[in-house]
Amino acid sequence: MTPDFLVIAPAGDASAGAVAAALTRRHGAGRVAQLPTGQLARCRWTHRVAPDGAARTRLRRPDGAALDCAHVRCVLDRMLAPPTLPRFARSHPKDRDYAAAEFHALLASWLAGFGPRLINPAGPWTLVGGRRPRRAWMLDAASRGLPVPRDARATAGRLLPADAGPPSRAGRTNAALPGLPDALPACRGDEAARGAPAGRVLIAGDFVGGSLAGAFGEACRHLAGGAGYRLAGFAFSRIGGRLVLSDVDTVPALADEAEVEAVARLLADVAAGAGGGP
């Protein structure tokens, strides 16, 4: 029996396990399957791409269970990286790299084949858990009025504004960047991640939660949707005495039962056809 819900995640991912358990309580054990990413390299694959580009994939898991992906109604993808290929462990490095590249391409095509059934949808930054660049998030966040750190980087100091601070290994800082208020604190991108945590916002479809949902929830929801994400966590930090967006995680850890239930509802909505788009 092919499940309605598929949760793909590394072994030990507590948030993935909690969502799978919530779905099981709601819909029954036979309708929910968890697929640890480490098993992907040990599955037997049948993957066909039609002339129109549509992909059809069938898997046979190590335990013999069959999975026809065409009948899966919703997928939660929490894969952080493609799994290793144990059978190539002793191969020549070139052969090992080639096999890894081919397997990566297979995984990318497989995930893309789920289309809007996949959370988060496969795309330029999301295939196989790839992260959208932090700088892209910050630029979009600034355009939506969210407070972000000022950050400038260049391959040569002469390319930076005259008021840029002293150079560092990550680039000069304290530049007055076009489109960003001068009052925002200046810091390097790596320093922003080390700022004092000040709260977060979690977006899961229509759900807006977290300690800063009241202040930044709607802006974060529009930011996530504009980038094509239905599930994302937004971390805020205090840098230079100011509260700013410091990081975005599209495979967020879920902090409590309310967040777990929100993600389970999102998956149920997608499976019912109510959550087809970001």
Element (H, E) at 196: strand 196-204
In sequence order, the 6+-apart residues with CB closer than 8 A to the CB of 178 are: none
Q: Residue type at 3?
A: P
155, burial (CB in 10 Å: exposed 0-12, middle 13-18, buried 19+): exposed
Q: Which of 129, 114, 124, 134 has the alpha carbon at shortest distance from 82? A: 129
Contact 64, 53 (CB under 8 A): no
In the structure encoding, which two tokens stand for residue 38, read together? Answer: 């480490």
Question: Lowest-confidence range among 88-92, 110-114, 176-180?
Answer: 176-180
Kindly tell me if the per-residue pLDDT of 113 is higher than 70.
yes
What's the pLDDT at 239?
87
Please state the separation of Cα 233 from the chain's center in Å: 9
Would strands 55-60 and 66-68 be described as parallel, antiparallel, or unpaired?
Answer: antiparallel
Place of tokens 């289309």: 115
**Bond prior to 174 in cis (omega within 30° of 0):** no
In the structure encoding, which two tokens stand for residue 224, read together? Answer: 């996530």
Place of tokens 């029996």: 1
C-alpha distances in Å from residue 94, one per residue of 89, 98, 99, 193? 12, 6, 9, 36
Q: In what order do the strands lie in the sheet with 231-239?
A: 207-209, 196-204, 231-239, 242-249
Contact 136, 130 (CB under 8 A): no
Residues 42-89 pLDDT 10s: 999 999 999 998 899 999 999 999 999 999 999 999 998 888 999 999
Residues 121-156 pLDDT 10s: 776 555 554 678 888 899 999 999 999 987 766 676
Would strands 196-204 and 5-9 be described as parallel, antiparallel, or unpaired?
Answer: unpaired
In sequence order, the 6+-apart residues with CB closer than 8 A to the CB of 63 are: none
Give the angle subtended at the CA of 267 by the CAs of 265 and 270, to the nearest 5°: 110
State if pTM tops 0.85.
Answer: no
Q: Where are the domains of the chain?
A: 5-129, 134-249
Cα 175 to Cα 182: distance, rounded to the nearest angstrom: 9
Rg (CA), the chain: 21
In the structure encoding, which two tokens stand for residue 117, read together? Answer: 């059934």
Question: E strands of 61-192, at which residues?
Answer: 66-68, 74-77, 118-119
Residues 152-198 pLDDT 10s: 666 766 666 665 555 544 444 444 444 444 444 444 444 555 578 99
N residues, the chain: 278
Q: Residue type at 94?
A: K
